[in-house]
Amino acid sequence: MKQATESRRGDPLLVISDLTKRFGEFTANDGISLELEPGEIHAILGENGAGKSTLMKMIYGVLKPDSGTLKWRGKPVILHNPAHARALGIGMVFQHFSLFESLTVAENISLAIPETVKLLRSRIAEVSTRYGLPVDPDALVHKLAMGQRQRVEITRCLLQEPQLIIMDEPTSVLPPSAVPILFETIRKLAASGCAVLFISHKLEEIRSLCHKATVMRAGRIVATVDPAVESSASLAKLMIGRDIPHPSRSAAKPSDVPALSLHNLTLAPDDPFGTRLDDISLQVRPGEIVGIAGVSGNGQRELAAVLSGEQPLPAKQNGSVRLFGGDCGHSDCGHRRAQGMAFVPEDRNGRGSVAEMTLEQNALLTGYARNLVAYGFVRNAAVSKFAQDCIHEMDVRCSGGDAEARSLSGGNLQKFIVGRELALKPKILVASQPTWGVDIGAASAIRQRLVDLRDEGVAILIISDELEELVEIADRVHALFRGSLSPSIERGDVTDELIGSYMAGNFSPEKLSVEVSGP
């Protein structure tokens, strides 16, 4: 009889009461209570540092609560570790991917699932076709783009057939065309009785997908609402406690001479799994923002590497990359930075920053030219001030300039890196995914800074998976598809249909395919 009541639908699957977690003086979660029913898609909304991740880690057994209780299917449980949580039927898709880079996709998945790699291969193929998450089981993870890695994470989680899936910002790296497919997956899971905890800062997504939303601010729950009856603006207001500004922008007044230009750039990748850049021509003029849209894995990484100088062109290839008219295809990152170029790389850990170094040391890494070094000696006071300015300017939440980069949450580190590059006062800024993982309030602040910078006459190129971001701030948008660049669409002419068809290759008949979610 006990079992009958347990399995009756409508009884809560998970009940959390009064959960509290402190890190030293800082209270990350303060008396959190919530209930989750089978088949419910429940959103957790909140800014960076609101305590969403801490809460999820406690539900998944990574962290132990200081006080409060968890009830799973009616019984109080103390989760010892993630394996315990998984055994109970709780799965998680992480925001910072918990994948092993030197292993293949199938090996990664087999670590979480008690099955041989050989048998898994067919199950991976089955799940990935059923849920529209194409992955190559034999690909090495370190060669995959962020969006592809997330597909691996989601596939791995689905293969464990959980009763509750925690998804930490799952759409943040998916192309727009794949988001509805993921939502279809989530709805199918919910229909089969699986509950989903969906963490996102994309309010429209939450409104269209979720049954209930819990809004967190500064470690506490501020509201539990039905997202369908709320507006995006009202959700945002609950979340950040005030209205969010949209970037104000005036018409672009670009000058005629391009600051940065590519001329018929064709480049075979070094990496056998990379994308070949195919006859790309592009101009960015001072005082305009040019956006590159596209599904990740279509050459964004390669294009960014060519622009930054990380991937210099072969010696015989002249004139393909020009800075203020001068050939710079062979010069390295340092030379290009010296000419007034700044970069925000896609990969904030490893390219954008060094995890083990403090923020001050990270600031010095690209800020050295701003009078931070004298006669070969680091001017510590100046470095410290430079880092403080970046932290203050971008409202980076951290313990100070001596905090290690890895101690910051992803969004906060991103804000710091963007702030550092902006503080270099560049003439040309190339930014890949400038607001990846950054919460809504801070993202709109970053976008406003980019627009302001444009008005000061800086040439800005933004490579982004987030179409809304490009639509919001770019003056012209290109799409990248399998290494080819579409013609640009002027701001006024951008429609979802047009840019969507460009992103699917409709500008380049010979490469066109019916595939929706890219290679």
Partner 1 sequence: MDTLTFLLSGTLLAATPLLIAALGELVTEKSGVLNLSIEGMMALGAVTGFIVATASGSYWLALLAGGVAAAALAAVFGFVVLVTLGNQVASGIAVGILGIGLSGLIGRPYESSTIAPMHELPIPFLSNVPVIGPGLFDHVALVYCAPLLAVATWWLLRSTKVGLVIRAVGEAPEAAHAIGYNVVLVRFCAVLYGGFCAGIAGAFISIASATLWSDGIIAGRGWIVVALVVFGTWRSGRVAIGAYLFGMTTLAGLLVQSTGIAIPSQVLTSVPYIVTIIAIAMLSMDPQRIRLNAPVSLGQIYHEAK
Binding site residues, partner 1, CB under 8 A: 57, 60, 62-64, 81-84, 86, 92, 94, 97-103, 107, 110-112, 116, 140, 142
* 404 secondary structure, DSSP code: B
**Residue 358 or 488 with smaller CB distance to partner 1:** 358
CB of 456 to partner 1, least distance (A): 41
Residue 57 or 348 having the CB closest to partner 1: 57
Q: Which two tokens stand for residue 363?
A: 């600031």
Q: Residue 115 or 493: which CB sits closer to partner 1?
A: 115
Closest contact distance (angstroms) between CB of 439 and partner 1 is: 23
CB of 102 vs partner 1, minimal distance in Å: 5
Toward partner 1, which CB reaches closer, 153 or 205?
153
Quick one: DSSP state of residue 178? G
Residue nearer to partner 1 on the CB measure, 64 or 253: 64
The pair of structure tokens assigned to 21 is: 């977690």
CB of 67 to partner 1, least distance (A): 14
The conformation of residue 171, written as its DSSP 8-state character, comes to: T
Which helix (H) or strand (E) covers residue 372, if one does? none
Task: Judge contact between 13 and 39, C-beta under 8 A.
Answer: no
Q: Which is nearer to partner 1, 111 or 228 (CB)?
A: 111
Q: How far is the CB of 202 from partner 1 (least distance, A)?
A: 24
Nearer residue to partner 1 within complex by CB, 83 or 228: 83
Contact assessment for residue 38 and residue 83, using Cβ atoms and an 8 Å cutoff: no
**Nearest CB to partner 1, comparing residues 102 and 248:** 102
CB-based contact 139:106 (threshold 8 Å): no
End-to-end CA distance of the chain: 51
Region for 333 from its dihedrals, namely left if φ exceeds 0, alpha if ψ lies in -120 to 50, beta otherwise? alpha
Of 149 and 427, nearer to partner 1 (C-beta) is: 149
Q: How far is the CB of 407 from partner 1 (least distance, A)?
A: 13
Least Å from the CB of residue 27 to partner 1: 16
Tell the smallest beta-carbon distance from residue 93 to partner 1 (Å).
11
Closest CA to 34 of 23, 43, 26: 43
Nearest CA to 239 among 410, 51, 57?
51
CB of 340 to partner 1, least distance (A): 31
Q: How far is the CB of 503 from partner 1 (least distance, A)?
A: 31
For the bound state, the minimum distance from the C-beta of residue 47 to partner 1, rounded and expressed in Å, comes to 22
Closest residue by Cα to residue 412 from 442, 448, 445: 442
Backbone Cα Rg of the chain? 24
Using the minimum distance from each CB to partner 1, give the nearer residue, 110 or 353.
110
Phi, psi of 386 (to 5 degrees): -60, -45
Phi, psi of 362 (to 5 degrees): -65, -35
Helix/strand/coil for 45: strand
Running DSSP on this structure, what letter comes out for residue 177?
G
Q: Kindly report the three-state secondary structure assignment for every residue of 439-506.
A: CHHHHHHHHHHHHHHHHCCCEEEEECCCHHHHHHHCCEEEEEECCEECCCEEHHHCCHHHHHHHHCCC
Residue closer to partner 1 (CB basis): 72 or 507 = 72
- What gap in Å lies between CA 228 and CA 224, rounded to an integer? 12
CA angle, 142 then 144 then 146, to 5°: 105
| Minimum gap (Å) between residue 66 Cβ and partner 1 | 10
CB of 110 to partner 1, least distance (A): 7
If the CB atoms of residues 118 and 316 are measured against partner 1, the closer one turns out to be: 118
Specify whether the CB–CB gap between 151 and 128 falls below 8 A.
yes
Taking the C-alpha atoms of residue 40 and residue 211, their distance in angstroms, rounded to an integer, is 6
Residue identified by tokens 């004298």 is: 374
- Strand, coil or helix: what is 317? coil
Q: Which residue has the tokens 């101690």?
A: 407
Q: Which amino acid is it at 171?
A: T
Q: Output 82 or 319, the one with its CB closest to partner 1.
A: 82
What does the chain come to in residues?
519
